[in-house]
Structure 1
Amino acid sequence: MTVIPSSATLPAGAQPTTATPSVARPARTRDHRIDALRGIALLMMFVDHMPQNLLNRLTLRNLGFADAAEIFVLLAGYASWLAYGRGFPRYGTRETLTRLAKRCVKLYVSQTLMIMAFIAIILTWRQFTPVPVDFLEPELAHGISSFWRVFLLNALPSNLNILPLYMVLLAAFPLMYVVLKFNRWLALGLSAALWLLINIDPDVNFPNWLDPDGWYFDPLAWQFLFMIGAFGAIEAEKYNGNLPAFPWLKVACGLYLVFSLFEAFPWTQWGLPVIRPLALPSPDKSTLAPLRLLDVLAIFYLVQSSPLAKRFSETRFGQALALCGRHSLEVFTVGTVLDLIGRLIFTTFGEGWLFQVVINCAGLAILYGVTVVYERKRNRARAQAAAHRKAAA
C-alpha cells in the first residue's frame, strides 16, 4: 500500500492527470520505515493474541500505554494517503474509488473467512477435548443460526474486530480526502472534536450483538488516529518522507515513553518490585484514551524523524520486517488463525518451554513464508505487466 507508482506502472486503463514535466525530477527513493514498523506491529499482534505466550511480556502492550493495534491503525491512515490520497489526482476519481472498493471487499472476505475458520477449528477440536467457552463467544460457539450477523458486521468476536474498523475507515476515506484537500487543519480539528466527544460519552458507538458496549474499537474515536496518519503523510511529503526533527520534541517524546514504560510494565510478572510513579489505571482502548494516543504518536514521531530508523529499515532484518508490512492483510489473516491454534495447543497440552519455543518459532516462520510467497506473486505480476506494456509498445 505504500508503493509510490510511476507512470510506467499505472493500472490498466489509468492515465496520469498531470502533464509530462519539462525538467526531469530526481527519482524518489522508497522509505521502508512505515513497512518495517507495520511489520513489527503485525508480529506483535500474533504474539499478543495468545495470552499464554511468554513473548507478549516484551511487546508494546506491556511496555507502554499503547499496543500494536494503535500502530496498525495510524500506519493504515498514512499508507491510505500514499495509496489513495495521491491516487485521486493521479488516476482520477473513478479509478481510485474502484481501488478503494476492491480493498474493502478484500478486507470483508478475509474477516468472514477468519470467523468461519475459527468456528470450524473450535468445533473440530471439541470432538477430542473440551475447549473453554471464552475461545469463541457462546452465541457463535454452538452453531451457525446467528451467523448472518457476522456477514452484516453486527457480531464481532474478540480478536476479530480490527478489520471491520479498517473497513469503516477506508470507506470513509473519500470524505476525509475531500476535507483534507479543502483544509487539512480543519480536517484534523473536526476529527479531534469527534474523538473528544466519544471520550466524553463512550456510549456513542456502533452496535455489536456480542457485546452490549458496542464495537471494541469504536470507529468514531479511532478515526482520529487514522486521520492523524493521513495528515502525517501529507506533512512528510514536504520533507521527502521524514517528519521534521525537533530536538526538544524528541526529548519530550522520549520522556513520555519512559513514563509510559514505568506505568505499564508488568513488574509482578517478572518478580520485581512495582515502580510506578502514579499507578494510573489502564487507559481505555475502545475510545482511544488520551494516554494511549500520546504513546503511539510519540513512537511514530521518533521513528519517522529518525535517520537511524531509516537505516535500520534498509538492513536485511529491516527488509524482512518491511516485507511483512507490505503484505499486512495476508500476514494478519494467517497470524490470527495461527493464534487460535496456538491457544488451543497451550490450553490442551500446557504452557511449558517446549511448546513456547515450537509455537513461536513455527508461527513466525510460517508468517515469513507467507510474505515470501506473496512477494514472489507480486513480482511475477509486475514482470508480466511490464512485458505486456513492452509488447504493446
Structure 2
Amino acid sequence: MGQGAPQGHNAATPRKRRDHRVDALRGLALLMMLCDHAPQDVLNRFTMRNFGFADAAEIFVLLAGYASWLAYGRRILRGPPEGGWLYTVERILRRCWRLYLFQMIMLFVSILTIRRWRHYDPVPVDFLEPELAHGSGWVWHVLTLEALPNNLNILPLYIVLLFSIPLMVWLWSRSPWLLLGVSFVLWVVANFNPSINFPNWLDPDGWYFDPLAWQFIFVLGMLSAWVAGRNDGNLPIPRWLRWTCVGLLIFGAFERFPYAQWGLPDLTPITPPSADKSILAFPRWTEAMAILFVVQSSVTAIRVSETKIGQAFALLGRHSLEVFSLGTVLDLFARLFMNSAGDGWWVQVVVNVTGLLAVFMMAWWLDRHRREAALMAGETRAEARRKALENS
C-alpha cells in the first residue's frame, strides 16, 4: 500500500508535500473530454472510453465528489467561524450560482453561434435540437434548466449534487454506511426504472445524466475522500484488491477496444455487458472506482503527478470549471470548422494545437492570478488551498 510523504519523529517535523494525484487525474479527464466532444477529432481514439466501460465523465463526477467532501462536507461539521452549516451552505450556494452562470454562458454561446453559422455554411441537424433552432420560446426552458442540450448536461448534474451535500453530510453524521446504503438504493431504483428522472424539454427520456443514478458515484467520491483523509491522503487498499482493480481495468480494455476501427481482429473475451451511461451502469462506476483505488494507493502515482507532465495535468485540474467551459465552447467551434473544412491532417493539427494551447494558457493565467491574489491578501497556504478546492 502506498504511503504519503514521510513524517518526522521529532519536533521539527517537515512540511508535508501537497498531493497532486487528484488534480492530475482530473486534468487528464478534462483533456479526454475535450477530445471526446469533437467526434471528428482523431485524438478521441486514444481516450479512456476506447479502453474500458467508463469514460472521462465518470472520473469527473467521482472526483467532484472527492473534492466536495474536502471543500464542503467536512467543513459542515466544524464550528464557526470557518465552518458550520450556515457558513458552508452559503459557500455551496455561491458555487452553484457560479456553475449556473457558466452553464448559461456556454449554452447561449452555443445556440447563438450555431444559429449564425448556418447562415454561411450548412450545419448538421444533430448540432442543435430542433426546439432551439428557431424563435425565442426556448429561453425560459433553458434558464430554468428544463432544457439540456447534448454536451451541456454535466454542470446541471453537478449543481443538483452540490445542493444535496447538506443532506448527504447529515446522513453521514448518523453513519457513513447509512449514506452509502441510501445512495445505493437510489442507484438501484434508477437502474430498474430509468423513467424516474428529471424532466428535459428536449428529450422525453429526461436528463441524460440521471441524477438519481449519478449521485452514487458522487457519494463514492465523498466517502473515498473521507477515508483518504484518515490515512494521510492515501486509500488503504490491500494488495489483493489493488491487483483485482488492475485486472478489472485490463478486462475492460479488451472488452471495449474498438478493434474494427483499428482494422484488428476482435479479441473481446465475452459478449460486452450493458453499460448504459445515462443510468451509470454497474461496469461504469466500478471501473471508475478501480482507477481511483489504483491512483490513490500508489506511491508511483505520487511521483508521476510531480513530473512536468503530471504538473501540467494538475494545472488543468485545479481550474476544472474554467477549463471544462472553455473546452466545451472550443469543441463546438472545432466541430463546425471540421464540418466546413473536413477532417484532414492539417485541420487536425490546427484544431488540436489551438485547443490545447488555449486551455493550458488559460489555466496558467488563472493559476498565476490566484497566487498573486493570495500573496496580496496575505493568505496562508491552508486558506489558499481551501479556496482552490471550492473553485475546482
Following the alignment from structure 1 to structure 2, what is the Cα–Cα distance between the partners of residues 163 and 24? 44
Aligned pair partner of 2:63 in 47, 54, 75: 75
Q: What is the CA distance between 1:26 and its match in structure 2?
A: 6.3
Residue aligning to 1:245: 237
Following the alignment from structure 1 to structure 2, what is the Cα–Cα distance between the partners of residues 229 and 43? 20
Following the alignment from structure 1 to structure 2, what is the Cα–Cα distance between the partners of residues 296 and 267? 22
- Aligned residue runs from structure 1 range 310-325, under 5 A: 310-325=302-317
Contact 2:153 2:207 in 1 (8 A): yes
Residue aligning to 2:8: none
Q: Once the two structures are aligned, what percentage of the paired residues are identical? A: 55
Residue aligning to 2:151: 159
Residue aligning to 1:42: 30
Q: What is the CA distance between 1:282 and its match in structure 2?
A: 4.7
TM-score scaled to structure 2, two decimals?
Answer: 0.91
Contact 2:149 2:202 in 1 (8 A): yes
Following the alignment from structure 2 to structure 1, what is the Cα–Cα distance between the partners of residues 12 and 112? 56
Aligned pair partner of 2:298 in 300, 306, 311: 306
Contact 1:65 1:282 in 2 (8 A): no
Following the alignment from structure 1 to structure 2, what is the Cα–Cα distance between the partners of residues 281 and 191? 23
Residue aligning to 2:328: 336
Opposite residue 170 of structure 1, the aligned amino acid is: L
1:270-304 deviation digits (Å, cap 9, x = unpaired):
01111111121551000100011111111111011
Opposite residue 151 of structure 1, the aligned amino acid is: L
Contact 1:35 1:321 in 2 (8 A): yes
Change beyond 3 A, Cα 1:25–1:85:
farther
Q: What is the CA distance between 1:192 and its match in structure 2?
A: 0.6
Q: What is the CA distance between 1:193 and its match in structure 2?
A: 1.0
Aligned pair partner of 2:195 in 195, 203, 207: 203
- Aligned residue runs from structure 1 range 10-29, under 5 A: 27-29=15-17
Contact 1:79 1:230 in 2 (8 A): yes
Gap regions ≥5 residues in structure 2: 1-10, 381-392
Opposite residue 199 of structure 1, the aligned amino acid is: N
Gap regions ≥5 residues in structure 1: 1-22, 389-393
Q: What is the CA distance between 1:28 and its match in structure 2?
A: 4.1
Residue aligning to 2:40: 52
More deviation, 84-93/187-196: 84-93
1:57-79 deviation digits (Å, cap 9, x = unpaired):
11011110000000000000000
Aligned pair partner of 1:185 in 177, 191, 195: 177
Residue aligning to 1:84: 72
Opposite residue 60 of structure 2, the aligned amino acid is: F
Q: What is the CA distance between 1:245 and its match in structure 2?
A: 3.3
Residue aligning to 1:15: none
- 1:270 lines up with 2:275 in the alignment: no
Q: What is the CA distance between 1:387 and its match in structure 2?
A: 7.9
- 1:365 lines up with 2:357 in the alignment: yes
Q: What is the CA distance between 1:142 and its match in structure 2?
A: 2.0
1:165-217 deviation digits (Å, cap 9, x = unpaired):
00000010111011112211111111111101111111110000100100000
Aligned pair partner of 1:104 in 87, 96, 107: 96
What secondary structure is seen at the aligned counterpart in 1 of 2:378?
helix
Following the alignment from structure 2 to structure 1, what is the Cα–Cα distance between the partners of residues 230 and 161? 25
Change beyond 3 A, Cα 1:387–1:33:
closer
Contact 1:155 1:209 in 2 (8 A): yes
Following the alignment from structure 1 to structure 2, what is the Cα–Cα distance between the partners of residues 24 and 316? 30
- 1:117 lines up with 2:104 in the alignment: no
Following the alignment from structure 2 to structure 1, what is the Cα–Cα distance between the partners of residues 112 and 337? 16
What secondary structure is seen at the aligned counterpart in 2 of 1:192?
helix
TM-score scaled to structure 1, two decimals?
Answer: 0.91
Q: CA RMSD in A?
A: 1.5
Contact 1:32 1:314 in 2 (8 A): yes
Following the alignment from structure 1 to structure 2, what is the Cα–Cα distance between the partners of residues 190 and 116? 37
Contact 2:274 2:281 in 1 (8 A): no
Following the alignment from structure 1 to structure 2, what is the Cα–Cα distance between the partners of residues 314 and 387? 24
What secondary structure is seen at the aligned counterpart in 1 of 2:164?
helix
- 1:349 lines up with 2:337 in the alignment: no
Q: How many residues align?
A: 366
1:244-272 deviation digits (Å, cap 9, x = unpaired):
13111111111111111111101001011
Q: What is the CA distance between 1:87 and its match in structure 2?
A: 2.0
Contact 1:133 1:141 in 2 (8 A): no
What secondary structure is seen at the aligned counterpart in 2 of 1:103?
helix
Q: What is the CA distance between 1:233 and its match in structure 2?
A: 0.5
Contact 2:190 2:213 in 1 (8 A): yes
- 1:65 lines up with 2:57 in the alignment: no
- 1:150 lines up with 2:138 in the alignment: no
What secondary structure is seen at the aligned counterpart in 2 of 1:91?
coil
Residue aligning to 1:218: 210
Opposite residue 205 of structure 2, the aligned amino acid is: D
